[in-house]
Amino acid sequence: MPHKTHSPRTTGRVTMPIQEGIDDQIRELVTALGADAVRNSDGTWLPEIASELVDRVYSTYFPARGDQDWALAHPDTLVNQYLMSARVTAMGQGPLTIDVLDGYFREQFVPCYERVERFWEVIDRTSGEVVAPSGWSVDESTGVLTIAEPTPWHEYTVGFLADQVWDTTQMYNYITNGWGETDPTRVKERPYDVRKNGVWEYAQQALREWLEAHPEVDVVRFTTFFYHFTIAFNTHGEEKFVDWFGYSASVSPEAIDAFEAEYGYALRAEDFIDAGYYNNPFRVPSPRFRDWISFQSRFVADKAKRLVDIAHEAGREAMMFLGDNWIGTEPFGEHFPSIGLDAVVGSAGSAATTRLIAEIPGVRYSEVRFLPYFFPDVFNHDGADPVGQANDSWLTSRRAIVRKPLDRMGYGGYVSLALEFPEFIDRITDICQEFRDIHEQSGGELPENAPFAVGILNAWGPLRSWQTHMVAHALWYKAAYSYVGVIEALAGLPFKVRFLSFDEVREQGVPEEVGVLINAGAAGTSYSGGEAWADGRLAEILREWVAAGHGLIGVGEPAAYDKGGSFIQLSDVLGVDRERQLTLNTDRYPTLVEGHVITADLKRASAFDDGEGAGGDVYTVSERTQVLSYDDGTVKIAANEFGAGRAVYFSGLPYSFTNSRTLQRALYWAAGREDLLSRWFTTHPATEVAWYPGRRKMLVTNNAYEAVTTTVLGDGREWQLTLEPMGSAWVDVD
């Protein structure tokens, strides 16, 4: 290591990736970072020195694809996946043929012909009718299905079961890293399904044997359990469909039969196909799909618990990686704690995902893996910027960590690559120390939150806490970022956040501790609610609740359902509605209210960044509505009083530190607590303060990439501070 890094003040809480062949450098780096645990990565092996260096040694373990010899010897155990064929139009009279795999990657899937009349379903999408199995046949040598007498000019689809002949993650890594060229002998791994013939018995035995063979491993890092989230590749070997929450690859004839036996009704292919939406999390979940989630989660938790027990029996800790084959282990689901894991580790893609990991119940500790992963795409000398990526990752996640500290942090990948970048090592040395400081300075105390909780109201409720509007893990999506910003902002704001489902609020009302509810989403999605607003019951409950003195914040197309002359069903509460080119005849005279506390951090109210906006123009429904931001004929922020309560509307809220601050202001205003704007609040929107009343300390953080000067407003006192770029400062309060 040519460059001598500086040393941290304290040690621990850090997991470092290591590999064979560079023992001296690893030893030095363990000291620099203050690491107390090491891990291998996909494709690296633990050196023998591992155990002497640190307290704990982690090793990845793959229960669903770890033994390819076994997989090849048991081809009847392949994991299934439900797929929908392309939509094919009957171009006139006569039989219609559909090559079910057309458009799919044939190295990933082959059709599964087990009881096709039971598990395949042909649907006329123009009429909505199911074609009886007697009306079609499939040629098993080609995968071509023929509908004998289709209705001319109707569109048809086939929902069918496929066998996965290539494991999803390994396929992804194989193709992404070009192993086909660089390592052509590498096996294309096949996944096996723990529900199938002999797999479960084998899985338990294999783990026992592995533990015995690896006494140096202290922590079994399950990567992960049994069912991968949904990914299908297309004809060109590119991603065709991805759903981080997708259960399409958790299916099998065995599972569907078991479901029927237990629930007393049979799931159809269409229950999984969902007209091609595959029950993605933006869809309002059907009761049958919810049953499936519950059924599989229970099964996975039961089996995972038994593997965890085996690890425990061997005196090891069991850690779960939150990703890959994580389906069935949703961490806020009711069965998750029963698995008995010691820990969860996940990747920090955003403040929201970091907060999600921090909040997982039922584990002793949680660990976050920061970016960048030490892979050649970032660690090269062709202009890549590993320091910049480390800064982004830390700055993004720090907001969440301040509010709810993760127990541990780490990095992953090939440490030999990172060692070539001494500035990077310096930077992560500081990050590790700043991470530990949060624990050491706070002494385990959580910073003070507002005296009311914030509720996020959608169809999913607690099950998908901190995971709203996510498509692929923490990736940016154009249509969704304007909503993701809400959760991203909240992940670092001083509020307890509750995730509430429509059903819960219908049945039990809004929990006592909640002061402001947020409904954010596009019309017809699970997040806005769609049919949940049809019968008016939710509107009644929320009107009464707001009028009693609470707050409501709507973002985009909240409570949207076309009924009775309104589109936003709480337009009376929010004071606005969404134009659908049905009310252009109504004149509008918006009057901008200047100098409102909600918009105080915006340079110009009209310049509020609402991202993609609400999907159409928004207008006020009454002269009482206060328009706080208006631009190009549409309302972007509005405030409205309703009874003794208040409501705020945002047409979108992509994350930025200014928008996060604007949301914080709106939450205080909606709760009728503008007084909080001078209690542990900072004047510069790039800065935030966390107040630890028990320790009489505050932590002030700078979310900007440049130095800023800010004033902290405490309880009647003020402190002026200048913070370095991305800096933070602990201040003792006498």
- Write out the DSSP string of 168-211: HHHHHHHHHTTHHHH-TTS-----B-TTSTTHHHHHHHHHHHHH
What token pair was written down for 463?
């099950």
Q: Which is nearer to its own copies, 258 or 472 (CB)?
A: 472
Interactions with its own copies, residue window 306-365 (CB under 8 A): none
Residue 309: helix, strand or coil by DSSP?
helix
Interactions with its own copies, residue window 176-195 (CB under 8 A): none
Q: How far is CA 350 from CA 226, 322, 446, in A?
A: 26, 14, 20
Between 57 and 86, how does the x/- string for binding to its own copies read (CB under 8 A)? -----------------------------x
Q: Which is nearer to its own copies, 429 or 626 (CB)?
A: 626
> Least distance to its own copies from the beta carbon of 368, Å?
25
If one asks whether residue 720 binds its own copies (CB under 8 A), the answer comes out as no
> Least distance to its own copies from the beta carbon of 270, Å?
10
Q: How far apart are CA 647 and CA 641, in angstroms?
A: 6
Of 7, 205, 508, 586, which lies in the binding site for its own copies, with binding defined by CB under 8 A? Answer: 586
> Least distance to its own copies from the beta carbon of 615, Å?
6
What token pair was written down for 146?
């023929």
If one asks whether residue 125 binds its own copies (CB under 8 A), the answer comes out as yes
If one asks whether residue 631 binds its own copies (CB under 8 A), the answer comes out as no
If one asks whether residue 585 binds its own copies (CB under 8 A), the answer comes out as yes
Which position among 218, 271, 274, 324 bears the catalytic label? 324
Residue 157: helix, strand or coil by DSSP?
strand
Q: Which is nearer to its own copies, 518 or 542 (CB)?
A: 542
Select from 724, 730, 686 the least CA-distant residue to 704. 686
Binding region for its own copies (CB under 8 A) out of 66-74, 326-334, 409-417, 557-565: 557-565
Q: How far apart are CA 44 and CA 19, in angstroms?
A: 6
> Across-strand partners of 156?
88, 124
If one asks whether residue 157 binds its own copies (CB under 8 A), the answer comes out as yes
Of 2, 92, 178, 716, which lies in the binding site for its own copies, with binding defined by CB under 8 A? Answer: 92
> Least distance to its own copies from the beta carbon of 534, Å?
10
N residues, the chain = 734
If one asks whether residue 106 binds its own copies (CB under 8 A), the answer comes out as no
Asked if 627 and 638 count as a contact pair (C-beta separation under 8 A), the reply is yes
Binding region for its own copies (CB under 8 A) out of 150-158, 200-208, 401-409, 688-696: 150-158
Of 74, 188, 283, 298, which lies in the binding site for its own copies, with binding defined by CB under 8 A? Answer: 283
Q: Which is nearer to its own copies, 434 or 562 (CB)?
A: 562
Asked if 232 and 106 count as a contact pair (C-beta separation under 8 A), the reply is no
Residues sharing a CB contact under 8 Å with residue 409, sequence separation 6 or more, in sequence order: 13, 14, 15, 367, 368, 369, 370, 431, 432, 435
Residues sharing a CB contact under 8 Å with residue 25, sequence separation 6 or more, in sequence order: 1, 415, 416, 419
Interactions with its own copies, residue window 220-239 (CB under 8 A): 230, 234, 238-239
Interactions with its own copies, residue window 238-267 (CB under 8 A): 238-243, 246
Q: Report the run of H or E that residue 401 belongs to, with start and end.
A: helix 386-403
If one asks whether residue 559 binds its own copies (CB under 8 A), the answer comes out as no
If one asks whether residue 427 binds its own copies (CB under 8 A), the answer comes out as no
Residues sharing a CB contact under 8 Å with residue 487, sequence separation 6 or more, in sequence order: 352, 456, 466, 468, 469
If one asks whether residue 130 binds its own copies (CB under 8 A), the answer comes out as no
Between 608 and 627, how does the x/- string for binding to its own copies read (CB under 8 A)? -------xxx---xx-----
Note if 274 is an active site residue. Answer: no
Binding region for its own copies (CB under 8 A) out of 105-113, 147-155, 219-227, 364-372: 147-155
What single-letter amino acid sits at 607?
A
Q: Determine how β-strand 219-222 pairs with β-strand 317-321.
A: parallel
Q: How far apart are CA 667 and CA 453, in angstroms?
A: 10
Q: How far apart are CA 181 and CA 720, in angstroms?
A: 58
Asked if 138 and 130 count as a contact pair (C-beta separation under 8 A), the reply is no
> Least distance to its own copies from the beta carbon of 565, Å?
3
Q: Could you tell me how many residues of this chain bind its own copies (CB under 8 A)?
A: 75
Q: Which is nearer to its own copies, 227 or 299 (CB)?
A: 227
Of 31, 338, 583, 683, which lies in the binding site for its own copies, with binding defined by CB under 8 A? Answer: 583
If one asks whether residue 459 binds its own copies (CB under 8 A), the answer comes out as no
Q: How far is CA 482 from CA 178, 417, 610, in A?
A: 35, 36, 7
Of 226, 259, 272, 282, which lies in the binding site for its own copies, with binding defined by CB under 8 A? Answer: 282
Q: Which is nearer to its own copies, 164 or 397 (CB)?
A: 164
> Least distance to its own copies from the beta carbon of 238, Å?
7
Q: Which is nearer to its own copies, 239 or 291 (CB)?
A: 239
Active site residues: 324
